Amino acid sequence: MIKKIIIPLTYILLFFNTNLLSNENNKELKIGLLAPFSGEYKNLGKSLLFSIQLALAEIGDSKIIIIPRDSGTNDKNQLNNSIKEIADSGARVIIGPMDSDDFDEIKKYKDLIFISLSNKNPKIEENIISIGISLESQIDAIQKFILKKNKKKTVIMFPNNQYSSFVEEKIKNIKLKNYKIFKYSSDPKVLTGEIQKLTNYTQRKNNLKSRKKMLEGKDDFASVRELEKLEQKYTLGKVNFDSVIVIDFGSSLKSALTSLIFSDVNDEDVLFTTVNQWFDKSIFYENSVKNLYYPSVNLKKFSSYNENFIQTFKTQPNEITILAYDALGLIYYIWSKNNGINSINDFLFKNKIEGKIGTFSFKDRKIIQELEIYKTENKKFIKF
C-alpha cells in the first residue's frame, strides 16, 4: 500500500479524482482540499495531502472522497477556479485555504463551508472555521498557568512591527489583574538598551558597585562572606515584575530572551513564558533561559503523528499538517453524527473533541483549544 502512496503528486491527485468518480453521490462525504500544489509552497501542499491520506487510513471509511485542488499563491483566479471545480464535483465542505488573506474571496461562496488552518482568527465567521492554534488560546493557557504559579506582576512583551496592532487586539481580554505591555525594537542592537531600561539594569548595576564598595576593607566574617557572594553577581536588586510573556518567535524571540538574561533577569525569580512553539529543538542550543514555558499541542500525540508520517512517506511533515489531519476527523464526526452536513451551524456543538493537537471545542462561535504547558529543561520538553 505504501508504494501506492509514495508516488509523484500528480498521480496522487489522479488517484483521488478517479476514486471520486467511482461512487454514488448520495452515499459519500465529499471534501475539498485547497492547498498550494504549485509555486513557492508546493511542498506544503504535498505534505498536507499526505496528512489527509494518514487520516483517511485511520478512519477507514471508503465513503470519504477527497477532491484536492491547487489554491496557488496570491492568485485569486487560481483560487476561484479551484473552488468552483470542487463545488462542481459535489463537495460542500473544503479544508483550506491556508492563508487568512483569502478570506474575503471565499466568503462569496455562501453555500460552501471552509475549514481553514489559519490561526489568525478563531471565530466562526460566516462560512469559515479557522482551526489553527490561535494566539487567544495560547494566551488563555499562559494566564491560567501564571495564576497557578501565583505570580502577581506580568510584563507582556512583543516586537513593535506590522503585527503589533494585531497582538494588542488579541490581549485586550486578558484576565491578569496586574500587567504591563512592553513593545520592543526588532533591531537587536536597540533591543538590548530597551530591555535594560525595562529591567532598571543600570540602577541595579550601580547598587552592586555601591554595596561592594561599602564592604571592601572590612574584615569581619559576615562582610567577607557577603562580598564573596556579591562577586558572583552582575546586579543587586530584583526587577519589578515576576513573570514575562514574550509574544514572538524565531531569532527575534531568542534575541529578546537573551537580552533579558544579559540584563540579569533571573529565571528562578521570574517566570519566562512564550508562544508559537512546535517543539523546536534549536531552542535548546540557542536560548540562554534555563526554564522556558509555553503552551502547545500534545507532545505525545504530535510525536506519534510525526513518526507515523515519516515512516509512511519517508519525509518530514510540515508542522501545521497535523491540523489538516484533525480537520478531516472533525468533518467526519459532524457528518456521521448528523447523517450529513447542512450548514456551518452543524459545527456549533457543546461536546469536546479530542484530536491530534489535543482537546478543542466550540463556544460563542469561537474555537477553544485546551493547550498544555511545556517547559524546556536539560535539552528535553517536559509537560507541566
Query: Is residue 221 in some structural domain?
Result: no
CA 258, 260, 265, 266 torsion-angle sign: negative
Q: In whole angstroms, what is the distance from residue 273 CA to residue 142 CA?
A: 7
pLDDT given for residue 150 in this prediction: 94
pLDDT given for residue 46 in this prediction: 94
Residues 67, 32: contact at Cβ < 8 Å?
A: yes
- 351 in the same domain as 259: no
pTM of the model: 0.82
User: What is 27-50 written as a DSSP string?
Assistant: G-EEEEEEE--SGGGHHHHHHHHH
- 186 in the same domain as 54: no
Boundary residue ending a domain (249, 269, 296): 296
List Cβ neighbours of 196 (8 Å cut-off, separation of 6 or more): 202, 259, 263
Query: Is residue 205 in some structural domain?
Result: no
User: What is 10-24 written as a DSSP string?
Assistant: HHHHHHHHHHHHTS-
Unique residue bearing C-alpha cell 457543546: 350
Query: Is residue 208 in some structural domain?
Result: no
- 142 in the same domain as 120: no
Q: In whole angstroms, what is the distance from residue 252 CA to residue 289 CA?
A: 14
List Cβ neighbours of 351 (8 Å cut-off, separation of 6 or more): 361
pLDDT given for residue 326 in this prediction: 92
Q: In whole angstroms, what is the distance from residue 293 CA to residue 119 CA?
A: 20
Query: Is residue 212 in some structural domain?
Result: no
Query: Is residue 381 in some structural domain?
Result: no
- In angstroms and rounded to an integer, the radius of gyration of the C-alpha atoms of the chain is 25
pLDDT given for residue 287 in this prediction: 62
- 141 in the same domain as 279: yes
Percent of the chain with pLDDT over 70: 91
pLDDT given for residue 377 in this prediction: 76
The whole-chain average pLDDT of the chain stands at 85
Decide: helix, strand or coil at residue 294: strand
Q: Comparing C-alpha atoms, which of 263, 257, 252, 240 is closest to residue 179?
A: 240
CA 204, 142, 122, 93 torsion-angle sign: positive
**Can you list the pairs that 313-316 forms with residues at least 24 positions away whose Cβ atoms lie under 8 Å?**
313/5, 313/6, 313/50, 314/6, 315/47, 315/50
Exposure string of 146-167, with b = 16+ CB inside 10 Å and e = fewer, is beeeebebbbbbbbeeeeeeeb
Query: Is residue 379 in some structural domain?
Result: no
- 154 in the same domain as 96: no
- 313 in the same domain as 287: no
- 162 in the same domain as 97: no
Domain of residue 309, CATH code? 3.40.50.2300
- 268 in the same domain as 360: no
What is the chain's pLDDT, residue by residue, as a tens digit (384 residues)? Answer: 333 333 333 333 444 443 444 344 448 899 999 999 988 889 999 999 999 999 999 999 999 999 999 998 888 899 999 999 999 999 999 998 887 888 889 999 999 999 999 888 777 888 999 888 888 889 999 999 999 999 999 999 999 998 899 899 888 888 888 999 999 998 888 999 999 999 999 999 999 899 888 888 888 888 888 888 888 888 888 899 999 999 998 888 889 999 999 999 988 899 999 987 677 767 656 667 778 898 988 888 889 999 999 999 999 999 889 999 999 999 999 999 888 998 898 888 777 878 887 788 787 777 888 899 998 777 788 888
Report the C-alpha dihedral over residues 165, 169, 175, 177, rounded to 10 degrees: 40
Query: Is residue 50 in some structural domain?
Result: yes
List Cβ neighbours of 222 (8 Å cut-off, separation of 6 or more): none
Q: In whole angstroms, what is the distance from residue 303 CA to residue 383 CA?
A: 14
- 141 in the same domain as 27: no
pLDDT given for residue 299 in this prediction: 87
Phi, psi of 279, rounded to the nearest 5 degrees = 55, 50
- 269 in the same domain as 155: yes
- 276 in the same domain as 167: yes
Residue 279's domain comprises 135-199+239-296
Q: What angle do CA 102, 332, 87 make, to 5 degrees?
A: 45
The DSSP symbol for 99 reads -
pLDDT given for residue 100 in this prediction: 82
Q: In whole angstroms, what is the distance from residue 290 CA to residue 310 CA?
A: 31
3-state helix, strand, coil in the chain (%, to 5): 45, 20, 35
Altogether, the residues listed in the chain come to a count of 384
Count of domains for the chain: 2
